[in-house]
Structure 1
Amino acid sequence: MTNFFAFDELTWPEVEELARNTPLVIPLGTGYAMGRLVEALGNPERIGLLPPLPFGWRASGISVPENLLSAVLQNLSNSLKEDGFTSVWYLIPQNLELELNNRITLPHPSQFRPAPALPADADRSKVVLIPIGHTEQHGFHLPLSTDTLIIEAIAQGMVTQIPHQAVSLPVWPYGVSTHRQAFAGTLNCGGRAFEDLWLAVIDHLVGRGFDQFYLISGHGGNCSFLVNVIKYAGERHRRIFCATAWLYLSGKEGAEAISRLRQSPIGGMGHAGELETSLMLHLRPDLTRMELVVDETDFIATPNYYMDWYEGGALIANPPWDDDTATGAYGAGSLANAEKGKQWLEAAIREKVCHVQEIQEQHRRREQRRNAGYGLWSGEKLKPKKTPDN
């Protein structure tokens, strides 16, 4: 009998130990007859299932052009092949003609009953939360799904607190990594493909009447690309308000919560350190292996370039990840505990709720100004006034 395992629940050393001919499958959605997948792959002993894409294809609730979706999928597959895996497959609904090799097409529920629109049309007045995680290594002790699980919990907490102001898309489990060569299991959508995908999602939603968006990320590598997305989206759709922010717990309240509870010095929260490990101990203690934690705080720091919860200083750089870590972690995971994780999650939700309210205020006040005919919004070209010569 074939054993299925969740690829993103592994740690990177466990990915490193996988036989390179293990079939790995990237599904579009869920609900397939898995017995037919087993048959299509020749009844292997094990099959690794990667996180399913929650939307993006026809009848999935949100659709984007198929060439953009294909580019993202191809980049994810290439990440696995670069790690040496030789049996990487896409599992897609039968009615799609994506430009992909190694695809397995099976009947899917969306062929027979299209998924409801995401979000529902009744939510047009709300801010659309777009939570984006990633599948990447988090040291010896945390799973590849860490970023996805954390940002999903934050988005769910936001909607629970302000259901009349925000609605969330399903969490997207893949992002951008420009430092994936050192440690196994880190995937990469590709920066340009990632930007094109999210611009297409916003195009789709604007076409349905949505006009307020908040792209939130659990993975630092996504953030610079999301800045590009919101800049292009704002220029393309002049009457929307589309925003992003650096990760979470990065504003005033978040910084205060971190400072109040942290035990590690600067450098203890870079990656898979005290903060993320605490959050995971609160959210998924079953996937957090404290007995395997290795603290690493020997980042090559200078006054204008150092690593903590976010990169600090005036310099922006991308040196090889393994210059500063032998295990994939930057930080002091051994200082983590679930109570700190609970309090930091609550603070992250409060911070993001305030952002939603500010997005709504910004959109409302800008629409009022536009509708009042401010400046060029009046439809008339302004001319400089001539002043008399002195």
Structure 2
Amino acid sequence: MPVRAPRDLTARLRLAEQLARRSTEGRVGDVLEPHTEVPGLYAGTPSVARTARRIPAQLHLQSPIFRHAVRLAVGVVLAEVIGRSIGGWGGLGISARGFWVALTTMLVLFPGYGHTMARGWGRATGAVLGGLFAWVLSLPHWSPAGLAVASVVLAAASFATLRTGQLMLNLWLTTWIVFLIHHVGGLPGPTAWARAADTVVGAVLAILIFLVWPTWSTRRLPGLLAEWLRVQDRLLPELLTGYADVGATDLAAVDALRARSRQVREHMEAAVEQSHAEPAGHRRPWTSTQLERIRAQVSRVAGCATLLGEHLPRTSQEIVPELTELADPLHEHLTALARAAAGAETVAPGALRSVYDSFTARSGLPAERSDGSGSAATGRAVALSAATVDAVEALTATIASRHRPGRHTAA
């Protein structure tokens, strides 16, 4: 929705300020680094209290974070058992130590399919190439000085590639570790192959665990969208009711609903991003294009809610009591739309718009005048309500295309 007035710009700036405050509250940077020479060194460290508040909220079976934590614990224990069972690969590796398999499983197994697969093949490929390179380096005889120089170079390469991806990082890290184990630890040169084999086993195990015990983002999307719509069916009617009189809206309740709306929306957007990497197209309720459209339409509805809240009447001349008639139809539509998003029923596009057209024809409310004269406040409120209805109808049309990926609905 375009910015149409300085007050609209003020609303968006205030929203940005609230989001910035939420992203920085609970930090301990000022406590930990009052005299540090490196500003911002601890600025991203969450406080213990904030973390303690978040942990209990995830302690339930429906939480993907909790399910992943349990899966990760089971996977690491299983990897440790397998690693110890493998032992030292017939004397090539470190006997009775399975930590490389367990460590790889822990570092590869992520909540999302895309990260798990990418890290799995990257670490395995890098370990194999690093093992080959380490084996080549173990062939010649090294003097103490040459050994020290080579160790420093390999360490520098490992740290230089720390954030360049799993393949390059593990190539140099494996080379460095195996080189030191062979020349300093006195283990035989083929240890390189045992190290690579442990990594491959751990990566394959992590991928298999994810496939057997998945947390598909595509399966979470309908529930997240439905939850967001349930927040809207409380927020938007509350805002429309606020136009009945000055101070008719509980601003604290509105702020709480908007904060919850933003939180659910962030989870939903993250799930949309992760779903693009998942090979689960046949299970998706919507195509990737439709998901991106839903994300844009959700943002548009949220923007309308922001402007409706900013333009709540502050004087008796700005009240528009007629808008309260829309509260119940909008609530009913959003409630049904939440059930439709979850797959429980279908909602036909156009129904809410039909109700709104009947309402405007019956009420005779004016449109906002460009010169700001006359009923500018009333016209602005009508324009905002119309934009909200349009945004909800566009979202309704896309949700209605569920399970019909070949059908493209114009938003």
Sort the TM-score into its range (normalised by shorter chain). Answer: under 0.3
More helix by share: 2
TM-score under structure 1 normalisation? 0.24
Could you say which structure has the larger radius of gyration? 2
More strand by share: 1
TM-score under structure 2 normalisation? 0.23
